[in-house]
Structure 1
Amino acid sequence: MAREILTRLLSSLLVLWLVSIIVFMLTALIPGDPALTILGENATPEQIAEINAQLGLDQPLVVRYFQWLAAVMSGDLGQSLFSSQTVAGAIASRITPTVELILFALVLSLLIGTAVGVISSIKPRSFLDRAIQTLSSVGIAVPNFWLGAMLIAIFSISLAWLPSGDYTAFGDDPQRWARSLTLPVIALAAGGIAEIARQSRASLIDVQEMEFVRTLKAKGLDPVTIKLRHVLRSAMIPVVTVAGLQVNRLFGLSVLIEAVFRIPGIGSLLVSSVFSRDIVMVQGTVLLITCVVIAVNLVVDLSYRWLNPKTV
């Protein structure tokens, strides 16, 4: 087990290094000159050259990459090109809303998606099963940002039940915090609920036909016990894979959801940094998201050992 974990960690570090190269190179290709953005359109070539020299942007790309990598490995993600704020400080001030949004959306997707999948698998091809499958297809197809806009139109504008934005921290007002996150969490979780429901249904139906389930039934075990203790556990292996992929998906979609609901999270920081050509901020933010995604994939891979009945 320890050897397997070490192998996974080393491969994850290799992936992270390769991603760091791609991220650095792509951000260097963002159109526009950061020095010109800082100084304005009336800047002289001499002033632009001076700013580029101060920021190290006059160095060859390879030299800049290794300088940046050395700083990152020492824990320094750099400083914004347009303010005195460090990248780590900016991320720390924005990470809480994004973590809350993604975590609640993931938990909601797993709980509701798995429950719906279990209900749908009880009587395959029944009217209820077909209705759930149809709704799941719709849930997967509907764009999350469009759903967010519709939720705002219905529950914020027409009914005035929930706010359309204005994120409030939990420490400031727990009730307003819960209300401000309700609609964005629903909009972000909808596609995940549909995907996990379909995957859990298919997996449960497959596992119920396996030999070990028939053996347990022949031994006289209670059907509910078989389903909850044995079938559901074995069926969770592909569901965990989907859940891990959902984390990657949620990070991408959170950029749009944060824009729709005006949430000051990592997604909005990344978008504003791209538009302002703050390449140092973009590099640090994307690197952080990559680390989280790699960590989640590592946990998912290792969880197979516990979920797979052959290893128990």
Structure 2
Amino acid sequence: MSAAIWVLHGLGRAVPVLFATAGITFLLSAFAKQEPADILLGEAATPEAVAELNHELGRDRPLLVQFGSWIAQAVQGDLGTSWFTGIPVLTTITDRMPVSLSIAGLALVIAVVLGASAGIAAALLRDSWVDRLVTLAASTLATLPPFVVSIGLILLFGVALPFLPTGGYVPFERSPGGWLASIILPAIALSLEAAADIARQLRTALVRTYEENLVIGARLRGLSPARILFRHALPHASGPALAALGIQVPRLIGGAIIAEQIFSLPGLGLMAYDGAMQGDQPVVLGAVMVTVVVVLISTLIVDLLILALNPAARTTPARTTPAQATPARTTPATERSSL
């Protein structure tokens, strides 16, 4: 299956997910206890004033009509206007998106670098104290929820060693150093679980790959350990780690919402939370849908990476999970004989 067909399959799966997510979010917000008219007009508002405002907001129309109208506008790039601020939702999302992407992006980088380094070290030093330490650390970190790690980091760097900010956000264009300092703690809190998963998957796959005839033959030909690792072992063993990364990407993006709450960062998560507390339906819908789109795009990119490294996956357009992933490609008999 070519990459283009794979992308089409991914897009075909994304449309129902987006539609279902929009429908569920719309229904939840529609049946929420918060009544925007009561908040906007205050407790002294008359029933006539509440009815008039609901008419202006379109809340007196049938739910199916309201949902259809929102979908029609969203397809054209119009996510509506906040009922409370009067600011277009897309404008607010554009302002807040860099915060969420900064946290999730840095967490992803930390997870890949830390997880890959630990997994490679554990595999190359199999059964050593390094291997046992990595295994213990990965098992421990995998059980710690990001919000627990966040609180621990705040206590450590906000109280015991107060040299990093534990709240607020500095845009990159204003101060790159301040930007990094403002997102490093939430990024670390989000990255540890993903790093642990990547390390475990990569360690297991590399150990198996080093027992394959492909690597044994490379050793017999006198290739350097670095070339064996990066040219032969890693390309064949990275499939499970990439699959684990694909599962972790939505968690990183979703976890950024919690991190924004804990570290008081003005991202999409805080925007969605404030909107939900006020019953601001357009804000909630816009934030959720944009987040889902980012998750779907990230998942598609990971799928394409798996496809490039494991051509056998082209016959199966479904997502590969760590348990299903092939740890190492079996070398054909003709290739083995040539080694």
Class of the TM-score when normalised by the shorter of the 2 chains? over 0.9
Q: TM-score, normalised by structure 1?
A: 0.94
Higher mean Cα deviation, 27-36 or 48-57? 27-36
**Following TM superposition, by how much is the alpha carbon of 1:188 offset from its aligned partner in structure 2, in angstroms?**
1.8
Q: 1:191 to 1:4 in 2, by over 3 A?
A: closer
Instruction: Please state whether the residue corresponding to 2:142 is helix, strand or coil.
Output: helix
Structure 2 partner of 1:54:
56
Correspondence 1:146-161 to 2 at 5 A: 146-161=148-163
Higher mean Cα deviation, 8-17 or 72-81? 8-17
Please tell me whether the aligned partners of residues 249 and 299 of structure 2 are also in contact (alpha carbons under 8 angstroms): no
The CA distance in 2 between the partners of 1:3 and 1:237, in whole Å, is 20
Please tell me whether the aligned partners of residues 214 and 232 of structure 2 are also in contact (alpha carbons under 8 angstroms): no
Q: Which amino acid is the alignment partner of residue 141 of structure 1?
A: T
**Higher fraction of helix:** 1
Structure 1 partner of 2:108:
106
Please tell me whether the aligned partners of residues 234 and 309 of structure 1 are also in contact (alpha carbons under 8 angstroms): no
Higher mean Cα deviation, 135-144 or 23-32? 23-32
Q: Which amino acid is the alignment partner of residue 210 of structure 1?
A: E
The CA distance in 2 between the partners of 1:255 and 1:6, in whole Å, is 30
Structure 1 partner of 2:186:
184
Q: 1:224 to 1:24 in 2, by over 3 A?
A: same
What do residues 258-309 of structure 1 show as CA deviations (whole Å, max 9, x unaligned)?
A: 1111111111111111111111100011000111111111122222221116
Correspondence 1:141-220 to 2 at 5 A: 141-220=143-222
**Following TM superposition, by how much is the alpha carbon of 1:13 offset from its aligned partner in structure 2, in angstroms?**
2.2
Structure 2 partner of 1:252:
254
The CA distance in 2 between the partners of 1:123 and 1:182, in whole Å, is 30
Instruction: Please state whether the residue corresponding to 2:287 is helix, strand or coil.
Output: helix
Correspondence 1:115-130 to 2 at 5 A: 115-130=117-132
**Any unmatched runs of 5+ in structure 1?**
none
The CA distance in 1 between the partners of 2:219 and 2:311, in whole Å, is 17
The CA distance in 2 between the partners of 1:7 and 1:136, in whole Å, is 34
Q: 1:309 to 1:78 in 2, by over 3 A?
A: closer
Higher mean Cα deviation, 178-187 or 264-273? 178-187
The CA distance in 1 between the partners of 2:164 and 2:5, in whole Å, is 50
Structure 2 partner of 1:27:
29
Aligned residues between the structures: 312
Please tell me whether the aligned partners of residues 234 and 308 of structure 1 are also in contact (alpha carbons under 8 angstroms): yes
**Any unmatched runs of 5+ in structure 2?**
315-328, 330-339
| Match 2:270 to one of 253, 268, 272 | 268
Instruction: Please state whether the residue corresponding to 1:206 is helix, strand or coil.
Output: helix
The CA distance in 2 between the partners of 1:7 and 1:192, in whole Å, is 26
| Match 1:282 to one of 264, 281, 284 | 284
Q: CA RMSD in A?
A: 1.8
Higher mean Cα deviation, 68-77 or 121-130? 121-130
The CA distance in 2 between the partners of 1:3 and 1:142, in whole Å, is 39
Q: TM-score, normalised by structure 2?
A: 0.87
Q: Which amino acid is the alignment partner of residue 98 of structure 1?
A: S
The CA distance in 2 between the partners of 1:279 and 1:125, in whole Å, is 55
